[in-house]
Amino acid sequence: MRRDAPVPHLLILVRDDAGRVTAKSFPDEIDASPETVATLDTPAVRVERERLYINVANGVAVYVPVGPSPLPGCVRYGRLCLRAG
């Protein structure tokens, strides 16, 4: 691993035994691949009209593109809003 490579902020989604998806926190900016998100088998994470929507048991976040990502194939998204779930 290169030491000068940017370190991405992580949003970790966890599915419990009952099938609910939760996240510890929503960062202000994240890097995501729209193509990868489109292949996910969950309605909790989706890209629509260039916005990244994340719906989990403890809240809802909407992210908009804010520029290129340092990660290949990804877009840098900034949080537009967050609502309690």
Handedness of CA 27, 62, 43, 19 (dihedral sign): positive
Q: Tell me the percentage of the chain whose pLDDT exceeds 70.
A: 85
Rounded to the nearest integer, the mean pLDDT of the chain is 80
pLDDT value at 3 more than 60: no
pTM, whole model, 2 decimals? 0.72
Mode of pairing for the β-strands spanning 45-48 and 29-32: unpaired
pLDDT value at 6 more than 70: no
Average pLDDT of the residues in 16-32:
80
Average pLDDT of the residues in 29-40:
89
Handedness of CA 9, 20, 65, 71 (dihedral sign): positive
pLDDT band at residue 18 under the 50/70/90 scheme? confident
